[in-house]
Amino acid sequence: MRNNGIHVHQLANQLLVLTQEVHAAPVATCWVWYRVGSRNEINGHTGISHWVEHMLFNGTPDFPKGTLDRIVARNGGVFNGFTSHDFTAYFETLPADRIELGLQIESDRMINALFLEQDVESERTVILAELEGKANYPETWLDEAVKSAAFTLHPYRQPVIGYKNDLLAMNRDDLYHHYQTYYMPNNAVLVLVGDFDTSALMERVEHYFGGLPTGPTIPRVYAVEPEPQGERRVTINRPGPVPYLQIGYLVPDCRSTDFVPLFVLDAVLSGAKSLAMFGGGAQTNRSARIYKALVETQLASSASSSFWPTIDQFLFELEATVHPDRDIAEVEAALTNEIETIQRDGISAEELARVTKQMRAQVAYGAESVTNQALLLGLWEMIDTYQRSGQVLDQLATVQAADVQRVAQTYLTRQRRTVGHFLPTNTGSISTVA
């Protein structure tokens, strides 16, 4: 089946394959996406998906540990992988005439990853060091506390990297069982974009992936976060340079008709961002409201908002690093005032036009490379449908100023928010108040 230049294929083992020919340059990219992330983890096994992601770089009989770096570089390519709340992804971007190497690597480690005991222990050490490194940042402590308070039931409350006690307790059998359950063709999507002939490439896809076994039925995630019944507040007291503020509002998932207006609201507050920069975004735009209200007035040394598409309800977040000479309560009041101003007065047609133009530019810039085009196809297929990647611009064009005001009034309310304060102390103690 073909949809807007995207060919959709389904192999007998249920592997979904999306291909898109782009002949602008002799480059192609190969992505494999797995429908597994921290959302699929249970208590006691937090961080297991991220750990398994690491293990798939530790070799197979055909590609022993350490050879992938050399062989991909020797063929003029780059490769990587990452884990999020909702999915895990791996990719190789190569000269177009070498794209078969990506198919070979991904089909091999889909089934044949070794999970040697010594590599399990080595990666445990690496991940614990990563966890301890993150713990040096006040933002990490506060973000974990805010998520834990904001989500009472849903596994989005858990950090993708996991909790230290779980990372110390899990063993090789736990990891390998997770791998054999979730990292199989029936739970995967192969995305290929670039300078190739689809028919010829699909023959190679069948060769490498067609004979792989279908995995077990994937366990469903049943958790649904209940509607919040009031504001929640947390305070973290630890050593740190300055106070830090984080506010999270529970908002709908990406399938909601309110997703795009909320995405526009985020751009109004702190500037347009590209979904191709998943997990990050552009720095706060100097013309955006939060920068003018907090940074230009020297209430905060930095301030931002963030909102990303997810399978289930997640958080619309505001963050600020408090200026050393100011009080955190002033910063919270200023952030809240920006929300209340939009709720009361809305935004002008001129502001909407400017922000929409910035967002359209970010969407265009984010889809320039074949790597990012494949990223966007895979990202949307993981959380909704790949077709959304080609619909964002049209959906942006339908948003009215009244829609932005309405979603601010509906979702960015005191009842739906969790407020977190990081207050520096020299004692090193931690106090959490809910």
Reported as a single tens digit per residue, the pLDDT across 147-172 is: 999 999 999 999 999 999 999 999 99
Helices (H), 303-400: 328-345, 349-366, 370-383, 392-398
Cα separation, 323 vs 352, in Å, equals 30
Report d(CA 41, CA 131) in Å as an integer.
18
CA distances from 349 to 338, 353, 356, 397, 401 (A): 18, 6, 10, 13, 6
Looking at residue 284, what is its pLDDT?
Answer: 60
Say if residues 142 and 422 touch (Cβ distance below 8 Å).
yes
**How far is the first Cα of the chain from the last one, in angstroms, to the nearest whole number?**
52
Tokens of 211: 């004979």
pTM: 0.94
The H helix count followed by the E strand count for the chain is 15, 12
pLDDT level of residue 243 (50, 70, 90 thresholds):
very high
pLDDT at 430 over 60: no
Confidence of residue 221 (pLDDT cuts 50, 70, 90): very high
Res 365: pLDDT: 83
Q: Are 251 and 315 in contact (CB under 8 A)?
A: yes
- Decide which of 74 and 274 is more confident: 74
pLDDT for the residue 432: 39
Cβ count near 87 (within 10 Å): 23
Assign residue 346 a region (left: φ > 0; alpha: ψ between -120 and 50; beta: otherwise): left
Q: Which residues contact 165 (CB under 8 A, 6 or more apart)?
A: none
- What is the pLDDT, as a whole number, of residue 106? 98
- Average the pLDDT over each of 126-130, 237-241, 275-279, 339-343 and give the range with the smallest value: 275-279
**Residue 414 CB neighbours (<10 A):** 12
272 vs 105, which has greater pLDDT? 105
pLDDT at 136 over 90: no
CA–CA distances in Å: residue 256 to residues 104, 259, 306, 408 = 38, 5, 17, 15
Q: Which residue has the tokens 């078969």?
A: 100
Question: Has residue 81 got a pLDDT over 90?
Answer: yes
Buried b (16+ CB within 10 A) or exposed e, 327-355: ebeebbebbbebbeebbeebbeeebbebb
| pLDDT > 80? residue 27 | yes
| Structure confidence at residue 427 (pLDDT) | 44
d(CA 269, CA 289) in angstroms, rounded, equals 5
In CATH, which superfamily holds the domain spanning 2-209?
Metalloenzyme, LuxS/M16 peptidase-like (3.30.830.10)
**Alpha carbon distance 348, 402 (integer Å):** 9
Per-residue exposure over 186-220, b if at least 16 CB sit within 10 Å of its own CB, e if not: bbbbbbbbbbbebeebbebbeebbeebeebeeeee
Confidence of residue 135 (pLDDT cuts 50, 70, 90): confident
Q: What is the mean pLDDT of residues 112-133?
A: 97
Tell which CATH classification among 3.30.830.10, 3.40.640.10, 3.40.50.720, 3.90.1150.10 matches the domain 232-424: 3.30.830.10
Confidence of residue 126 (pLDDT cuts 50, 70, 90): very high
Average pLDDT for the chain:
94
Above 60 in pLDDT, residue 91?
A: yes
Give the span between the Cα atoms of 140 and 395, in whole angstroms.
Answer: 34
Say how many CA atoms lie within 13 Å of 415 toward its Cβ: 8
pLDDT reported for residue 429: 40
User: What average pLDDT does this structure show over 367-390?
Assistant: 95
Q: What is the pLDDT of residue 282?
A: 43
* pLDDT for position 393: 87
How far is it, in rounded angstroms, from Cα 104 to Cα 72?
A: 11
pLDDT of 431 strictly over 70: no
Pairing of strands 188-194, 27-34: antiparallel
Residue 196 backbone phi and psi in degrees, to 5: -150, 165
Query: Quick one: pLDDT band at residue 274, thresholds 50, 70, 90?
Result: confident
Which is more confident, 175 or 287? Answer: 175
Please, which pLDDT band fits residue 281 given cuts at 50, 70 and 90? very low
**CATH 3.30.830.10 domain range(s) in the chain:** 2-209, 232-424
| Higher per-residue pLDDT: 389 or 2 | 389
